[in-house]
Amino acid sequence: MNLLTAARLAVLLVFAAACGCRGELESDHQRVTLEHTLVGQLLLPPGVGSRGVEVLVKTSPSGGEPRTTWVLFDDQGFFRHTFREPLTSVTVTAGSEVHGVGAQDLPVVNQAGQIDMGVIDLRDRLKRHRLMVRAADGKPSGEVRVAMFSGPPPVGPYGEPVSLGSGQFPPITMGSEMEWLVPQEVQGVYFLAERPAGPGRGLDWRSGQQSLFGPFTSVELPTELIVE
């Protein structure tokens, strides 16, 4: 190899390395810009915990089916979740929808890469309701999970009942009093109580016997759930 050929080869290698680095940087930049963090705060009536309030975010994966993500919020109502897919809606529910923002009305991504929903004040839209959960006479006590629905609980593709076996529905000890936040005016509220299928707890919880209560209006909510 003569000196001219070697020099040309060296230039090509440097150029290729530079292109590779730039391509890597562009790829990293694209990856970062695809990520955006949803932030905001819920203002709820006084009390502790979510009490049936949920933040549901729908996204539209490229080439995939739309999906819904349940976003946790802390005791001060702050929520934060990072997505790598376009958001199509943000909905807050308490049995039924109490706040919703579609894709066209979502805030734009700010310089920090955040979609800031600001403060969502629900204090005038929700009221507190307390009820006792206890076992029916002759039935074992233990723990149950309880969920609130607007309308009958959903079923699976083969008609199977919805499962409450997730962190979304923390275990409740029989004989305990629960507090829920419900809309000021609502029709067709249902409560679903589910026993575990076995002795496991936490992530090992499996759907067991279920007891369905309802429908109720906002003025005739039960004060007690008696679980079979």
CATH code for position 71: 2.60.40
**What amino acid occupies position 161?**
P
| pLDDT of 204 | 57
Give the domain-ending residue among 105, 121, 137.
Answer: 121
Q: How many domains does the chain have?
A: 3
53 with 87, same domain: the answer is: yes
Q: Are 55 and 131 in the same domain?
A: no
Q: Please state, as a whole number, how many other Cβ atoms lie within 10 Å of the Cβ of residue 204.
A: 10
118 φ, ψ (degrees, to nearest 5): 70, -150
Tokens of 150: 């607007």
Q: Is residue 189 located within the same domain as residue 144?
A: yes
> Pick from 78, 105, 121: which residue ends a domain?
121
With pLDDT > 70 as the criterion, what percentage of the chain qualifies? 80
Q: Are residues 132 and 115 in the same domain?
A: no
- Predicted structure pTM score: 0.76
**Residues 76, 158: one domain?**
no
Amino acid 95: pLDDT: 83
* pLDDT for the residue 205: 63
Together in a domain, 106 and 165? no
pLDDT score recorded for residue 156:
78
Looking at the structure, tell me whether residues 153 and 207 fall in a common domain: yes
If asked whether residues 189 and 99 sit together in one domain, one would say: no
**Distance in Å from the first CA to the final CA of the chain:** 88
Residues 145 and 94 grouped into a single domain: no
Domain termination residue (choose one: 121, 144, 174): 121
Distance CA 84, CA 36 (A): 7
**Are residue 134 and residue 216 in the same domain, yes or no?**
yes
Show the low-confidence residues of the chain (pLDDT under 50).
2-33
Amino acid at 206: R
Burial 147-168 (b: 16+ CB within 10 A, else e): bbbbeebeeeeeeeebbbbeee
- Identify the pLDDT of residue 170: 79
Domain identity same for 89 and 114: yes
pLDDT for res 186: 83
Among candidate residues 128, 123, 137, the one with its CA nearest the CA of residue 178: 128
Tokens of residue 164, six digits: 């409450």
What is the sign of the dihedral through the CA atoms of 130, 136, 137 and 140? negative
* Cis status of the peptide bond prior to 66, with omega within 30 of 0: no
Amino acid, single-letter form, for residue 120: I
Distance CA 56, CA 87 (A): 11
Residues 132 and 48 grouped into a single domain = no
Residue 179 domain boundaries: 126-227
* Residues whose CB falls within 8 Å of the CB of residue 199, separated by 6 or more in sequence, listed in order: none
- pLDDT for 115 equals 96
Q: 3-state DSSP call for residue 167?
A: coil
